[in-house]
Structure 1
Amino acid sequence: MKKRYRIKREKDFQLVFKKGKSFANRQFVVYLTDNPKTDHMRLGISVSKKLGNAVKRNKIKRRIRVFFQKHQNSLNPREYVVIARQPVSHMDYHQMEKSLLHVLKIARCIK
């Protein structure tokens, strides 16, 4: 994912947490907010150490990034922060994709 599509700084995460709205299901929490400065989406991912070792956490993050790259054209240009919950550690990609689509439909982010 290119740099302009990523949220990396703590300051940016905190801004999305404070000014954004949250939507959740059992597997994911998605915070989102509008950013008038950009015309594209930005993504931040948070995976707790409770979900597993570094290999497992990075695998979850890769799958979330792939989902957002795959559905980039159908998502509204906003800032997204995705937090993975415990059940995600036992899911395969297709289950994660279905769950993320469910949360984003609740949030009305899909065009």
Structure 2
Amino acid sequence: MRKSYRIKKEAEFQAVFDHGQSVANRNFVIYYLQREQPHFRVGISVGKKIGHTAVMRNQIKRYIRQTLLEAKPELNPHADFLVIARKGASRLDMAGTRRNLRHALHLAGLLQDHIEEV
């Protein structure tokens, strides 16, 4: 994803945490905040408790980014959201990540058309 689609600054992360709403399933937590902007922005967080090595954490982040890239046309363009991985995310493959993350995005109301169920 291009840099304009990312939330990187601590102040922006904190604004979504403080003023946004949250939903969760077993593997992901989504914090989201509606804003007027041309496209969505996303922040991804995978803590050291989830994947003990940087290789594992980066793999989880790649799976999340790829899922968001595939869902880009369906995502609400007027939202900032954070995807936070939980412990179970380390056991998921790409298909499992896609299914679980799309479910969490649907719970948050960020997907326009939701077909898959967990």
TM (norm. structure 2) is: 0.90
The aligned amino acid for 1:42 is R
Match of residue 47 from structure 1: 46
Matches within 5 A, 1:64-103: 64-77=64-77, 78-103=79-104
Q: Note the C-alpha offset of 1:35.
A: 1.7
The aligned amino acid for 2:89 is V
Q: Note the C-alpha offset of 1:98.
A: 0.6
Inter-partner Cα distance in structure 2 for 1:51 and 1:110: 26
2:19 equivalent to 1:19: yes
Deviation string 1:64-111 (CA, Å, 9 cap, x unpaired) is: 011111100101011110000000101101011111111111112111
The aligned amino acid for 2:46 is V
Identity percentage of aligned residues:
45
Inter-partner Cα distance in structure 2 for 1:4 and 1:76: 15
Higher helix share: 1
Inter-partner Cα distance in structure 1 for 2:105 and 2:15: 20
Inter-partner Cα distance in structure 2 for 1:35 and 1:4: 15
Q: Give the root-mean-square deviation of aligned CA atoms.
A: 0.8
Inter-partner Cα distance in structure 1 for 2:13 and 2:22: 13
Deviation string 1:31-86 (CA, Å, 9 cap, x unpaired) is: 010122x2201010000001121000000001101111110010101111000000
Inter-partner Cα distance in structure 2 for 1:51 and 1:104: 20
Give structure 2 stretches of 5+ with no counterpart: 113-118
Give structure 1 stretches of 5+ with no counterpart: none
Aligned residues: 110
Inter-partner Cα distance in structure 1 for 2:27 and 2:65: 16
Inter-partner Cα distance in structure 2 for 1:8 and 1:109: 20
Ranges of 4+ aligned residues in structure 1 off by more than 6 Å: none
